[in-house]
Chain A
């Protein structure tokens, strides 16, 4: 029997359903790895071993009676500590919220549980999801399993670290300005930021009503599809899900043959470190080998799009977090109501300009960041202004996507000279999430970057 902790979510769920391994065996294997890794990663804020093993026993008993709950029957999962679970604490990475007990379960988690998954604990995150590095003053930083002196990326820091270290087969993150995609890039896992409206945000901590999205981090694109099958769809508790198309499992398996891939001529490809540029080139070559056509695209000015994203994020974050406003959450106070509404009104025209620029392109491929994971020390804002500048660079290629409301998948595609993972970002058309997963899965069938695991501590 293979080590269940090393299986992808798809493999693990299938093995449990086929009774090749039990849910208890899978849960124990993950708990054993958590015991070894947690002291060096700080990926979890809580591990609920006894409850998880009890849930696993129940899942095995149900399966023995022929009562599989769904596609994720018997799979242990944990999520960023901003998803409510009724009766459990949800700290949102902050001391202010310590001890707060959730009155309801978030729709995304409830749907995973309805598909048969159960809770193993809760994961580290940046305070109130407002930080792209994995630093957290109260919890201490999360550490990258490929090199524990380096950042995980954030704000879904624990999700990235735990999935990369094979402590979990998948985890929910959230993405308002890169918080799923950055940990995916820096930790070498696959992360999907869905189109807005595809996944309910009900009973998940809000940061920016306009830009927040809920999505998975996992080893493989096919795993992201499996999670999306479970969590996507309309929810009366989140009206933004009205009108979004249902998840199309067939489209998520389409061939990349004859797809047109666009590569930006500027902004996303400016000043890349050599390893990142080489990774992008290699990924494009792989997509060509898979039958896709690669063309250049001239995108509109992304710095203006970035500025609009920052205005919307800053103002909405200041509003949502008014009761405990602190540090960077105060930035939104400096924008006027007219500036905020202008930034919101420009969203449609900015998306129209993007769509006109890409024409018939199905997917735009870019790097996820200019560099692989920097160290925890060089991104510590208490170390001085150079850390601030680096943090600006970290989020540079992320924020436009949230503002434009596009889906994006980041998946591991190469390695730095220092043996750190490097991701590429696949940006879809509106509601083109399935095409990203299909292209990602085809890429991962032809490469093995997503199969490589960091060495145990």
Chain B
């Protein structure tokens, strides 16, 4: 899923799909900055259980609270 070979062209295309035009230098800068983050989050030990949704976080937080 994560793109370890994020390129400036790829970033420019993704930005364009959000309606934002990035020039070559900006796209290259974003690719350089974001690439390592995407790669770190693509590590195989990050597995999200099938039934998990973003709001599951609230359940875990309230269960983990101790007053």
Contact = CB atoms under 8 A, between A and B. Distances in A.
A423 to B, nearest CB: 25
A429 B14 contact: no
A248 B30 CA distance: 44
Contacts, number: 124
A342 interface: yes
A333 B40 contact: no
Contacts of B15: 330, 333-334
A97 interface: no
Contact of A349 (B2, B11, B48): B48
B8 to A, nearest CB: 10
Interface in A409-434: 429-432
Interface string A330-354: 1101111011011111111101100
Nearest to A347: B57
B2 A339 contact: yes
B65 A351 contact: no
A334 B31 contact: yes
A431 B67 CA distance: 8
A339 to B, nearest CB: 6
Interface in B1-32: 1-2, 6, 10-11, 14-15, 18, 20, 22, 26, 30-31
A244 B12 CA distance: 41
A42 interface: no
Question: Max chain A CB contacts within 10 Å: which of B1, B20, B54, B61?
Answer: B61
B54 A347 contact: yes
A311 B41 contact: yes
A348 B40 contact: no
Nearest to A405: B61
Interface string B31-42: 101100110110
Which interface class (under 10, 10 to 19, 20 to 34, 35 or more) fits B? 35 or more
A303 interface: yes
A331 B20 contact: no
A355 B46 contact: no
A424 to B, nearest CB: 22
Contacts of A336: 1, 14
Interface string A312-327: 0010001000100100
Contact of B58 (A243, A318, A432): A243
Interface string A296-318: 00000101101110110010001
Contacts of A251: 67
Contacts of B37: 307, 310-311, 314
A346 B46 contact: yes
Given A334-B30, A339-B1, A351 B64 contact: yes
A328 interface: yes
A331 to B, nearest CB: 5
B49 A245 contact: no
A347 B61 CA distance: 10
A85 B6 CA distance: 43
Contact of B11 (A245, A333, A342): A333
Given A334-B11, A345-B54, A431-B65, A304 B48 contact: no
Contact of B61 (A345, A346, A430): A430
Contacts of A362: 66
A75 B39 CA distance: 49
Interface string A185-212: 0000000000100000000000000000
Interface of A: 195, 243, 245, 248, 251, 301, 303-304, 306-308, 310-311, 314, 318, 322, 325, 328, 330-331, 333-336, 338-339, 341-349, 351-352, 355, 362, 405, 429-432
25 contacts: A248-B67, A304-B45, A307-B38, A311-B38, A311-B41, A328-B33, A330-B20, A330-B22, A330-B30, A333-B11, A334-B11, A334-B14, A334-B30, A334-B34, A334-B38, A338-B1, A343-B41, A346-B46, A349-B48, A349-B60, A351-B61, A430-B62, A430-B65, A431-B61, A432-B65
Interface of B: 1-2, 6, 10-11, 14-15, 18, 20, 22, 26, 30-31, 33-34, 37-38, 40-41, 43, 45-49, 52-54, 56-62, 64-67
* 10 nearest A-B residue pairs (beta carbon): A348-B56, A307-B40, A430-B61, A344-B54, A348-B57, A307-B41, A333-B15, A347-B57, A431-B65, A355-B64
